[in-house]
Structure formats: C-alpha cells, structure tokens
Amino acid sequence: MDPPATAQMVCHVLLIETDNGLVLIDTGFGSHDCADPARRLGPARYLIRPVLRRDETAVAQVERLGFRPDDVRHIVITHFDADHIGGLADFPHAQVHVTSTEALAAMQPQSWDEKSRFRPIQWAHGPKFVEHNPDGERWRGFAAAKELSEISEGIVLVSMPGHTRGHACVAVDTGHRWVLHAGDAFFHHSTLDGESRVPRIVTTWESLIAFDRKRVHENHSRLIELYGRGEADLLIVCAHDSTLFERALATA
C-alpha cells in the first residue's frame, strides 16, 4: 500500500505447512480486489492506495510455491479490514477462523464507523467461518488466548481488541522460534524498539482508524513489555511494517 505522506506499507501474511494442510494467517488483498477495486474496496482505496498486482496476492504466491489454492485448508484472520481478508475468495474451501467478537463487528456493525470500514462483498462467497472466544489459556503473559488445536498445535489466537472490536494476534510455533503476527495491533517497528520516532502520520492514522484508542495504547504497552524481554525464541511482526517484514525474511 502507498498511502499519501508515508512510507510504503506491506501486507505481511504468513503461510504455514502443517500436518493438516496449509494455513494462512491473514490474506492481504486478493485477485478479486485486483480485478474490481471499486466494488471490492470502495472509496478507501484512494486513501490506502493499494498496488493491487495479482502476482503479489497470496494465491499467486501459494501457486508459485507449487501448491494449489485448495491446499490452503484454514485461514486465521486477525480482523476483518479489507487489506486482511481480501484474499478469502481465492481460497473458497478454506475454513476461516476469527474471534466471535470480530465476526459480530463485521456482520452486525454497531456504529457508522464499523459499518463503513468493513466490505461484506469480500465474504459474499460464503466461507465457512469458525468463531473462537480466546479466554483463559495464557500465552506469554497474555491471558486471553486460545490454541487452535483443531488446526494444529502451536497456532494460538491471542485476543487483542482495540484496532477493531475483536482484533486478535496470532502466535505460531515454527519449531525453532515463535512468530507473533500482531496484525494491526501496531504499525511501526519504532513503536516497539524505539529506534526512531514513529512518524506522526502513522500515529495519527492509527488513532483515526482505531475502534478503541485507549486499548490500542494499552496494547502497545503490553507489546513493548514483551519485546523488551528480548526473548531469543520470539519474533514479533505486524501486518504493515516493511522493516519488520525484511527483518523476518533475513532471519528466517
């Protein structure tokens, strides 16, 4: 994505090979978004300015790896924003896992803000949603978590509302380390590492689109604390920071 006055953003998704087929964490934009951005994305496309190249979609990359789209059996989504679920229709046979709260926010929006941010056309193909209520299974100090053991051990949904009503992060045990995909719980690596000042445009944007700003700040504090522990077997990434994406690739 290439929003005005800020650096380009990636849509970082994860693809996991499990004994139970391929699993995607988020989808980014999909081929249908590339084909018909006006209907699929609405006016927001002028703000976020997605590149929308089919060869960058998750389905194109899955195919390049030698798999078929049907090999993706499960998709876990952090939330329902268009840049995270646009690719669902490219994997129509996959079960889609999401928090119950987020499903409710998307299907029964409670405010104009919620109604206008989600794009029902992106799930009009009728995927099988599997709703979860993460509570009570701790993951590294986060109390509201749930291992999605029906998919595979080592995939944990960590509730982190704030950006949207039912936003969640997804922690994945990759064998030699855990990867915490934080979705849109934060946007810029400096939020965690303090390497530089987070650009004002990013903090403004993050506040403007937050469902609950106070919780977004609380989430930042919790993630800063987790990052600050310096645990060698944990990599934290978010959906849109290209620096974290490059670092993840470099240390894969």
Which secondary structure element, helix H or strand E, spans residue 147, and what is its range?
A: strand 145-147
Smallest separation, CB 84 to Zn ion (Å): 6
Tokens of 30: 């999909």
If we measure between CA atoms, which residue out of 137, 135, 126 comes closest to residue 100? Answer: 135
C-beta closer to Zn ion: residue 33 or 184? 184
C-beta closer to Zn ion: residue 152 or 188? 188
If we measure between CA atoms, which residue out of 208, 193, 170, 207 comes closest to residue 241? Answer: 193
Tokens of 16: 């996991």
3-state secondary structure of 69: helix
Smallest separation, CB 11 to Zn ion (Å): 7
Site residues, Zn ion (CB under 5 A): 81, 83, 184, 239
C-beta closer to Zn ion: residue 77 or 239? 239
Which secondary structure element, helix H or strand E, spans residue 171, and what is its range?
A: strand 168-173
C-beta closer to Zn ion: residue 83 or 90? 83
Smallest separation, CB 106 to Zn ion (Å): 14
Smallest separation, CB 96 to Zn ion (Å): 17
